[in-house]
Amino acid sequence: MTTSTRERGTVLPPEDMRELLDLSKFLERHTEPAALLGPGGEQTPLPLEIYDVLVRVVAAMRKQRGVTIVPVEQLLTTQQAADLLGISRPTLVKLIDEGKLKDDKPSGSRHRRLRLSEVLDYQKRRSAERSELLTKLVTDAEEDSLYEIPAQQFQEAVRAARAERRKKG
């Protein structure tokens, strides 16, 4: 590994995957954190957070993906933030303009930057909102006995509900 690669925190999967696959199988069999063993036999418990990172790194590398470790206060370009969220850059800029995401504009620069922590917080909020909406949708469907009607009737009911919602504004 080169120094520049190490400094950026990017680690690529090994060319010979045998040891990685052995480690992956080991982690699948042992779901509780273990201890780290040094060359002289000295050992120290592995904190749960570190163990979780190890499991995620091994899973990513097993899929032939490199892993990059960055601090949560890392500044991202609008394109990097959009890629992380799985949306287009113009959509991300719209979210910033609407105040749904906060950007940092370095003084003297016209380029927007977003803190990784801000992007991850937004991602969590959106996930929670989606989960809440799905729960409400299922609850409404159960209350209206929509699970007990034929699919075509259900689709008509959904269309009618959407039309009603559009009327309300």
Following CA atoms 13, 14, 18, 20 in sequence, which dihedral angle do they give, to the nearest 10 degrees?
A: -50
61: tokens are 């590398």
pTM: 0.59
pLDDT at residue 2 is higher than 50:
no
Span 125-148, mean pLDDT? 85
Residues 95 and 34 in one domain: no
CATH of the domain at 143: 1.10.1660
Residues 83 and 148 in one domain: yes
Mean pLDDT of the chain: 87
Q: Is residue 4 part of a domain?
A: no
- Give CA separation, 15 vs 64, 85, 117, in Å: 9, 30, 33
pLDDT at residue 169 is higher than 80:
no
Residues 82 and 155 in one domain: yes
Q: What is the per-residue pLDDT across 9-29, written as a single tens digit (0 to 9) for each?
A: 788 999 999 999 999 999 999
Domain that includes residue 26, residue range: 17-63
Q: Is residue 41 part of a domain?
A: yes
Q: Which of residues 6, 28, 63 is at a domain's end? A: 63
pLDDT at residue 7 is higher than 60:
no
Residues 135 and 160 in one domain: yes
Distance CA(169)–CA(167), nearest Å, equals 5
pLDDT at residue 135 is higher than 90:
no
pLDDT at residue 81 is higher than 90:
yes
Q: Is residue 99 part of a domain?
A: yes
Residues 29 and 50 in one domain: yes
**What is the percent of the chain with per-residue pLDDT over 70, rounded to a whole number?**
93
Residues 25 and 86 in one domain: no
pLDDT of residue 8: 57
Residues 57 and 91 in one domain: no
Handedness of CA 26, 27, 31, 32 (dihedral sign): positive
Q: What is the per-residue pLDDT across 19-76, written as a single tens digit (0 to 9) for each?
A: 999 999 999 998 887 898 999 999 999 998 999 999 999 999 999 999 988 888 899 9
Residues 85 and 160 in one domain: yes
Selected residue with higher pLDDT from 144 and 169: 144
pLDDT at residue 148 is higher than 80:
no
What's the number of domains the chain is made of? 2
pLDDT of residue 5: 41
